[in-house]
Amino acid sequence: MQITFRNEAAATAAVKIINRYGYAASARGSVVLTDCPPLLAVPAVGRGVGLHQMQEVKFDVAPRAVQAA
């Protein structure tokens, strides 16, 4: 899954939130790649960072792209 945020600070915070749940996540600028299931990631990040910080969520990104990032 790929989540695009409004800024890098929000993306970095999202990576930390996702990592706390035991899933891999990496940020490149304001884009976060993760293998976390969307039904866990979106609400958790929304509570921690704010849904208004999310600009786009793509569900079709392969999990192995997380390791490459």
- When divided into structural domains, the chain yields a total of 1
| Better pLDDT: 68 or 50 | 50
Could you report the per-residue pLDDT of 1-58, keeping only the tens digit for each?
Answer: 999 999 999 999 999 999 999 999 999 999 999 999 999 999 999 999 999 999 999 9
Q: Which domain holds residue 39?
A: 2-68
pLDDT of res. 64: 57
Answer yes or no: is pLDDT of 62 > 80. no
Cα separation, 47 vs 64, in Å, equals 26
Task: Kindly give the pairing relationship between strand 31-34 and strand 2-5.
Answer: antiparallel
Both structure tokens of 39: 């039904």
